[in-house]
Amino acid sequence: MIGTPLPHRMQLSPNFGQRRIGSNIDIIILHYTGMSDGQKACDWLCNPESQVSSHYLINDDGTLVQMVDETARAWHAGVSSWHGVEDINSTSIGIEIQNPGHSMGYPEFPLVQMEAVAALCADLLKRYNIKPRNILAHSDIAPGRKIDPGEKFDWFFLHQRGIGHWVAPEPLLGGSYLQVGDHGDPVMALQALLKLYGYGLEANGTFDPRTKIVVEAFQRHFRQIQVDGVADQSTVATLHKLLRR
């Protein structure tokens, strides 16, 4: 079993396949489980009826469970896209983080759990050539379909430990903004920048429902104080900062 040398236990899942020939591991996808406790989540990810899995599960007490060999293609990303790549499962390591999610109160992620996330990600970064901007939320690669790990997940905590791409978000300053129904060059420019960063969005010059969903996904990761799908000055300025860095 290929995996992390960090202390962990195994509960193997039958839900995996072979990675696409020629694919390289260059993405880490962080999820939340959306279930009431870690063992229920682990059992579900290891149940052949679920048809889902991930390489790792990190419980809220920081304990680490491996379910799929890193060389195998776990079934965690689903229908997704990043920088035009749609078979994310073939190029990624999937990490489930125990949290009941938005439908069950959505608590904070405990410090001990965040430390374990950081340790696992750091270990993966040592062993694979993964760019900071490819350490992603499930919501980044599947906007609208998924919203995990959500706006309470502490990306800055990971960044302080050398993990992931992050800039200090611009404050909410008011001023002009773009929203559903707007048209024209400013909308097309926004869409082009989001696509350049990696999001699955076409630049058509219309702020349509799909654009709103992608803006929400961006805010959920990079401008968490207000997730509303409105491209205000804070959102746009934060996106520019990320692209410059």
Strands 231-232, 177-178: pairing is: antiparallel
CB neighbours of 56 closer than 8 A, spacing ≥ 6? Answer: 3, 4, 8, 64, 65, 66, 67, 93, 94, 95, 96, 120
Whole-structure pTM value: 0.97
Indicate if 96 belongs to the active site.
yes
The whole-number mean pLDDT for each consecutive block of 10 residues of the chain, a chain of 245 residues, reads 90 97 95 96 97 98 97 97 96 98 97 98 95 96 97 98 95 89 97 98 97 98 97 97 93
- List domains and CATH numbers for the chain: 9-160 (3.40.80.10), 177-244 (1.10.101.10)
**Integer Cα distance of 210 and 195 in angstroms:** 12
Taking the CA atoms of 222, 223, 227 and 230 in sequence, report the sign of the dihedral they define. Answer: negative
Q: Considering only CA atoms, which of 210, 230, 75 is closest in space to residue 144?
A: 210
Residue of 70, 96, 151, 216 marked active site: 96
